[in-house]
């Protein structure tokens, strides 16, 4: 296995048994046994037909599917229904395994495919109720037109499925059918809608931060926690929108545009005093202080209060880790880049728009490139659009039509809150009364085993996620509470309030975006984009230089007391989300959400930085969107690159946009390297490594030895200064520490050891090294004697008490770590050898033994870039250097000539493991190359290598 892969979770014997069967079957399919019968023909059986003609029931006219040399399809039809019916058919041709796994995941039915090892994940997802919410959206929220398109899409998928056996669908389906007679069921419109819930979960905001802060309180003081979550640096990193205001129920952008930073100021969050768990007097007196401030600090004293809740949140964090194993890590790394430049500053005279969303690397990629074209745009056939789609969902999610282009990045709004609930046999306490739970029974069917029944209980603050684990059943009984708090009884439960659990209209928004022709159309479409909350950027080709714009959409709650940073008391209505009865929340009005249009600076950048500066006073936004923004390292670098290019009359080209996307500059390296170069070290091996940093320009190219050494130093700085001080619940699973005395006593003090091991999964362990940690260290390096620079002595290293002592120790640890990983000869070192991308086939490729992973997975690719660089190839500093999230695609749209736009996908069009388009774009993606993106009919025809005509069944 590659070095950055981890062993599967424990307690998965049922799934392991099934996977062993799958390994054997897939081995046969690969021609590794039993000759020609299980050879190449069986593997190719599921490959799609891409030439000639096929009859598709339900079509009223012909649809042409034109594929280019990379298998990317462009569809041409005469009416909307035929267009989306054909989209469903083609998606299923290339990606039905992916689609089938996704719909089982979103409905909490993975156990039906993979056995007992998925029961716990299914139970958690059933508790959230994604499927029920999707059903409510389809029945009660979506427009008749949208429902018609969803049904047409589903009919297209089912037309493809008709009469096909397992091996006709995919190698993976064939294996499932042979082992357990698994038969895929018909696709439904709700299957498509439910996928939006999965994406919303992946981009849900600060829920992990909320848990982490609560867990930190068991070991760190409130002041220490505040140092690890500093305020956004508005004095240095620009927000997306500057200087707008809310008046008369409407948001008005700054008409003169933005010309620079707005200066210093609070981000409207405040640090407070005390935490939801109660503060503590010092780290040596954990849990002995009295809590003051907001959240549960009003209700709970800290002595012992963290014990039960700590166990509960730890278990919740462990449960959450199993869901991102499918969808991707959620934390400071997840984000995206997008920016748009006005035609005033481009070589084309019209806007250029770039986008690269950051998600976990998946095989196949989460995106599927496609064009949806009406031969003649009319009232009966309204679409002429191309871009990135989700397999399993109609329409284009990110892309352009003939008039406009749009991109997305995660806004990062705080749309989740954890509520502690006092539970009694007859219900839960709310404002002194006992209210009954809303309950439902769920039956989880298990392949090869007995079904499991669960009861889902829901309060007016959301479902009880704590019901899904024995560890979450109670919050402990030892903590004393203030007289104003309800009796603990057997403990508090935990409920999850999340905007995505309220039915919405995001699917309507997708089709409106696809048809939009103006900025007004675009904003009206954005108003329905409920979840996940995204930064939407815009460009069009109207007028002399075109127009650019930005809109912040999304359903963002207005809270009563509290700011969402910590778990809050569910029994007190003062902490409930505002504006609704019976738990129905009020949200920030869409008319008051920030937007911008043609700012005078001539460009707009969104890269998960602060949208606006919240607070009171001139130029401040009156609502709290979140306290957990990205800290702006990427966004400000993009701002600086654009400014450098356009100053003194310079212009930006399409290739300039591509070059910016591949920028590997490290902000933290620029800050720390000069300090590291001055440190006196005696070890000749460390001195030799230190010399690698001489003259380094701080760019993290894959062949850079300096980048390899610096990132190893950075990782060890984080471990020594922060990681070893974290509670075990946040440290990487399996990382064990021997605490050897107090670091200052006599030699026999070394005999007094305490062994403590981390429990957190590799994707969410802390410190992860993201740009929040850049900001933490930036603020601390000025204090050479900060308590954070203290580290205890070990058998081989002395204790440290100052910044330079700790840095010297980190440099030594990094030198010998790289010697072990890359060899003694540092001339052979390179960042790419450490920082590798391995692509894993969905589900089966992540859970099977090494042989199965070899069969279905691909890699490694040595990458440049890193944490918080524009070329954002993320890695978690707690768990290693392997790539954990990536720019999942890249695109540059040329609004002057759409046929000169460029795009690339992480993998390829096909989800079939041995198809030539399985990973045919990956090497180009890794090099930063972009493919031509034909859009007009002539350009598409020129690029076409295969044409398949879909015909009505009766023709």
431-467 pLDDT, tens digit each = 999 999 999 999 999 988 999 999 999 999 999 988 8
Please say whether the beta carbons of 564 and 576 come within 8 A. Answer: no
Task: Flag whether pLDDT at 290 surpasses 80.
Answer: no
Q: Is the pLDDT of residue 269 over 70?
A: no
pLDDT, residue 845, reads 66
pLDDT at 183: 80
CA 572 from centroid of its chain's CA atoms: 32
Q: CA 55 to CA 849: how far, in whole Å?
A: 41
Paired residues of 356 in beta bridges: 337
Q: Give the whole-number percent of the chain exceeding pLDDT 90.
A: 65
Whole-number Cα distances in Å, 420 to 20, 380, 462, 474, 833: 42, 52, 11, 11, 46
Output the pLDDT for position 319.
67
Contact 589/597 with Cβ under 8 angstroms? no
The whole-number average pLDDT for the span 424-436 is: 93
Q: How many residues does the chain have?
A: 955
Task: Check pLDDT > 90 for residue 487.
Answer: no
Distances (CA, A) of 600 to 242, 344, 355, 604: 12, 10, 21, 10
- Whole-number Cα distances in Å, 672 to 372, 415, 710, 735, 938: 49, 35, 9, 26, 53
Overall average pLDDT of the 541-551 stretch:
97
Helix (H, G, I), strand (E, B), or coil: what is residue 902? strand
Provide the pLDDT confidence category of residue 289 given band limits of 50, 70 and 90: very low
Indicate whether 306 pLDDT > 80.
no
What was the pLDDT predicted at 1? 33
Q: Which residues in 825-858 are b (16+ Cβ under 10 Å) and which e?
A: ebeebbbbbbbbbbbbbbbbbbbbeeebbebbbb
For residue 808, pLDDT beyond 80: yes
- At a CB cut-off of 8 Å and minimum separation 6, what does 161 contact? 92, 96, 169, 184, 186, 187
Phi, psi of 125 (to 5 degrees): -70, -35
For residues 913 and 856, the answer to whether their CB atoms sit within 8 Å is: yes
Tell me: pLDDT of 630 over 60. yes
The residue with greater pLDDT, 16 or 875, is 875
Q: What's the average model confidence in pLDDT over 518-529?
A: 97
Residue 493's pLDDT is what?
86
**Is the bond preceding residue 15 a cis peptide, omega within 30 degrees?**
no
Looking at the predicted structure, is the pLDDT value of residue 281 above 70?
Answer: no
Instruction: Answer for the pair 222, 273: CB distance below 8 angstroms, yes or no.
Output: yes
pLDDT tens-digit readout, 572-605: 999 899 864 444 468 999 999 999 999 999 999 9
Residue 876, classed as helix, strand or coil, is coil
Burial 603-621 (b: 16+ CB within 10 A, else e): bbbbbbbbbbbbbeeeebb
Beta bridge partners of 596: 550
Q: Are 237 and 265 in contact (CB under 8 A)?
A: no
> Does residue 391 have a pLDDT over 80?
yes
What distance in Å separates the CA atoms of residue 716 and residue 769, rounded to the nearest whole number? 11
Residue 859: name the closest of 892, 889, 883 by CA: 883
In the structure encoding, which two tokens stand for residue 913, read together?
A: 């493991």
DSSP letter assigned to residue 137: I
75 close to 83: Cβ distance less than 8 angstroms: yes
Which range has the worst mean pLDDT, 158-167, 584-593, 609-618, 817-826?
584-593
Q: What is the mean pLDDT of residues 807-825?
A: 97
Contact 827, 698 (CB under 8 A): no
Instruction: Decide: 234 and 263 in contact? Cβ < 8 Å.
Output: yes
Please give the Cα distance from 822 to 425 (Å, whole number).
59
Among the listed residues 153, 152, 29, 169, the one whose alpha carbon sits nearest the alpha carbon of residue 93: 169
Q: What angle do CA 340, 342, 345 make, to 5 degrees?
A: 115
pLDDT for res 750:
46
Look up tokens 């848990």; give the residue. Answer: 211
Q: How far apart are CA 335 and CA 202, in angstroms?
A: 10
Average pLDDT of every residue of the chain: 85
Burial category of 938 from C-beta neighbours within 10 Å (exposed 0-12, middle 13-18, buried 19 and up): exposed
Integer angstrom CA distances of residue 922 from 318, 659, 908, 910, 925: 32, 18, 7, 12, 5
Q: What is the pLDDT of residues 114-133, one digit of tens each?
A: 888 889 989 999 999 999 99
Rounded Cα gap, residues 20 and 710, in angstroms:
42
Asked if residue 751 has pLDDT above 70, the reply is no
CA distance 120 to 10: 12
Report yes or no: 146 and 512 within 8 Å, Cβ to Cβ. no
Average pLDDT of span 360-364 = 92
The reply to whether omega before 860 is within 30° of 0 (cis) is yes
- pLDDT tens digits, residue range 30-56? 444 443 344 456 677 889 999 999 999
pLDDT of residue 29 exceeding 70: no
Cis peptide before 574 (omega within 30 of 0): no
Residue-level pLDDT at 436: 97
**Longest pairwise C-alpha distance within the chain:** 92
- Lookup: tokens for 493: 């439960």
CB 852 within 8 A of CB 26: yes
Maximum mean pLDDT: which of 218-222, 283-287, 371-375, 620-624: 371-375
**DSSP state for residue 679 in the 8-state scheme:** -
584, burial (CB in 10 Å: exposed 0-12, middle 13-18, buried 19+): exposed
By C-alpha distance, which of 405, 408, 395, 393 is closest to 359?
408
Provide the 10 A C-beta neighbour count for residue 462: 25
Q: How confident is the model at residue 243 (pLDDT cuts 50, 70, 90)?
A: confident
Query: 41: which 2 tokens?
Result: 């023909």
Task: Give the closest residue to 214 by CA, choosing from 470, 206, 778.
Answer: 206
858 DSSP β-pair partners? 839
pLDDT at 213: 85
In 30-118, alpha helices (H): 40-44, 80-106, 111-114
At 729, give phi and psi (nearest 5°). -65, -20
Our CA angle for 855, 858, 860, nearest 5°, is 135
Query: Which of 247-256, 354-363, 799-808 has the weakest average pLDDT?
Result: 247-256
Element (H or E) spanning 174, and its range?
helix 171-180
The Cα–Cα gap between 905 and 368 comes to 8
CA angle centred on 698, ends 694 and 701, rounded to 5°: 110
Q: Tell me if the pTM is above 0.85.
A: yes
């Amino acid at each position: 296995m590659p070095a950055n892969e981890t062993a599967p979770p424990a307690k998965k014997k049922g799934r392991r048994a099934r996977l062993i069967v799958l390994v054997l079957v897939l081995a046969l399919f690969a021609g590794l046994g039993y000759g020609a019968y299980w050879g190449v023909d069986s593997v190719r059986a599921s490959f799609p037909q891409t030439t000639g003609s096929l009859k598709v029931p339900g079509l009223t006219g012909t649809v042409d599917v034109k594929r280019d040399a990379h298998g990317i399809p462009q569809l041409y039809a005469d009416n909307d229904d035929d267009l989306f019916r054909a989209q469903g058919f083609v998606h299923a041709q290339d990606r039905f395994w992916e689609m089938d796994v996704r719909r089982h995941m979103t409905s909490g039915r993975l156990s039906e495919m993979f056995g007992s090892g998925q029961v716990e994940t299914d139970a958690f997802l059933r508790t959230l109720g994604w499927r029920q919410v999707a059903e409510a959206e389809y029945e009660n929220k979506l427009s008749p037109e949208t429902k018609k398109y969803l049904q047409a899409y589903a009919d297209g998928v089912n037309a493809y499925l008709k009469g096909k056996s397992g091996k006709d669908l995919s190698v993976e389906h064939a294996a499932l059918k042979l082992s357990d007679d698994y038969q895929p069921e018909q696709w439904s419109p709700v299957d498509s809608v439910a996928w939006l819930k999965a994406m919303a979960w992946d981009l849900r905001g600060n829920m992990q931060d909320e848990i982490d802060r609560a867990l930190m309180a068991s070991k760190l003081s409130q002041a220490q926690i505040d140092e690890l979550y500093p305020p956004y640096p508005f004095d240095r990193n620009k927000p997306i929108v500057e200087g707008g205001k809310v008046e008369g129920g409407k948001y008005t952008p700054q008409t003169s545009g933005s010309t620079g930073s707005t200066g210093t100021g609070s981000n409207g969050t405040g640090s407070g005093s005390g935490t939801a768990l109660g503060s503590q007097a010092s780290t040596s007196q954990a849990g002995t202080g009295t809590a003051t401030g907001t959240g549960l600090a009003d209700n709970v004293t800290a002595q012992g209060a963290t014990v039960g809740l700590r166990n509960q949140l730890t278990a919740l964090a462990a449960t959450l880790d199993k869901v991102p194993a499918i969808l991707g890590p959620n934390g400071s790394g997840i984000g995206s880049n997008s920016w748009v430049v006005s035609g005033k500053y481009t070589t084309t005279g019209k806007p250029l728009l770039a986008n690269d969303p950051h998600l976990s690397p998946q095989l196949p990629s989460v995106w599927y490139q496609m064009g949806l074209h009406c031969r003649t745009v009319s009232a009966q056939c309204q679409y002429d659009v191309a871009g990135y789609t989700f397999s399993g969902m109609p329409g284009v999610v990110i892309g352009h039509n003939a008039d406009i282009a749009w991109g997305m990045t995660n806004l990062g709004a705080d749309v989740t809150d954890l509520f502690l609930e006092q539970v009694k046999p007859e219900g839960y306490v709310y404002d002194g009364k006992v209210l009954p739970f809303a309950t439902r029974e769920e039956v989880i069917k298990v392949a090869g085993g007995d079904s499991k029944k669960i009861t889902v209980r829901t309060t007016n603050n959301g479902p009880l996620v704590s019901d899904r684990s024995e560890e979450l059943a109670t919050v402990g009984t030892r903590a004393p509470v203030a007289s104003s708090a309800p009796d603990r009884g057997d403990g508090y439960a935990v409920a999850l309030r999340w905007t995505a659990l309220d039915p919405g209209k995001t699917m309507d928004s997708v089709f409106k975006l696809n048809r939009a022709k103006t900025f007004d159309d675009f904003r009206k479409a954005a108003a329905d984009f409920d979840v996940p909350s995204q930064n939407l950027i815009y460009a069009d080709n109207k007028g002399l230089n075109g127009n650019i714009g930005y809109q912040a959409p999304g359903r963002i709650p207005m809270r009563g007391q509290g700011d969402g940073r910590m778990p809050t008391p569910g029994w007190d209505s003062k902490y409930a989300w505002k504006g609704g009865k019976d738990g129905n929340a009020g949200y920030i009005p869409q008319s008051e959400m920030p937007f911008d249009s043609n700012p005078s600076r001539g460009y707009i950048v969104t890269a998960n930085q602060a949208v606006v500066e919240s607070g009171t006073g001139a130029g401040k936004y009156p609502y709290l969107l979140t306290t957990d923004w990205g800290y702006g390292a990427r966004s400000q670098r993009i701002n600086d690159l654009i400014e450098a290019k356009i100053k003194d009359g310079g212009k930006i080209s399409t290739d300039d946009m591509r070059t910016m996307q591949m920028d590997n500059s490290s902000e933290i390296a620029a800050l720390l390297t000069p300090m590291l170069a001055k440190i006196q070290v005696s070890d000749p091996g460390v001195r030799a490594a230190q010399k690698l940093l001489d003259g380094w320009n701080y760019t993290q190219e894959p062949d850079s030895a300096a980048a390899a050494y610096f990132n190893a130093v950075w990782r060890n700085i984080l471990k020594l200064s922060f990681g070893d001080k974290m509670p075990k619940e946040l440290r990487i699973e399996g990382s064990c520490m021997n605490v050897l005395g107090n670091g200052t006593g006599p030699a026999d003090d070394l005999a007094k050891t305490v062994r403590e091991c981390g429990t957190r999964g590799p994707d969410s362990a802390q410190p992860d090294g993201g740009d929040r940690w850049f900001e933490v260290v930036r603020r601390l390096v000025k204090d050479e004697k900060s308590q954070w620079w203290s580290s205890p002595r070990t058998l081989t290293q002395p204790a440290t008490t100052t910044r330079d002592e700790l840095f010297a120790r980190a440099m030594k640890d990094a030198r010998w770590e790289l010697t072990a990983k890359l060899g003694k000869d540092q001339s052979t070192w390179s960042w790419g050898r450490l920082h590798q991308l391995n692509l894993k086939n969905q589900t089966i490729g992540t859970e099977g033994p090494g042989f199965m992973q070899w069969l279905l997975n691909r890699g490694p690719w040595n990458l440049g870039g890193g944490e918080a660089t524009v070329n954002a190839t993320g890695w978690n500093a707690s768990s290693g250097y392997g790539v954990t999230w990536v720019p999942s695609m890249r695109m540059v749209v040329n609004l002057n000539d759409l046929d000169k736009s460029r795009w690339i996908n992480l993998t390829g069009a096909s989800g079939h493991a041995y198809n030539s388009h399985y990973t045919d774009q990956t090497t180009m993606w890794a090099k930063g190359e972009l493919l031509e993106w034909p859009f007009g009919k002539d350009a598409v025809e020129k690029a076409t290598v295969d044409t398949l005509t879909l015909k009505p069944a009766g023709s």
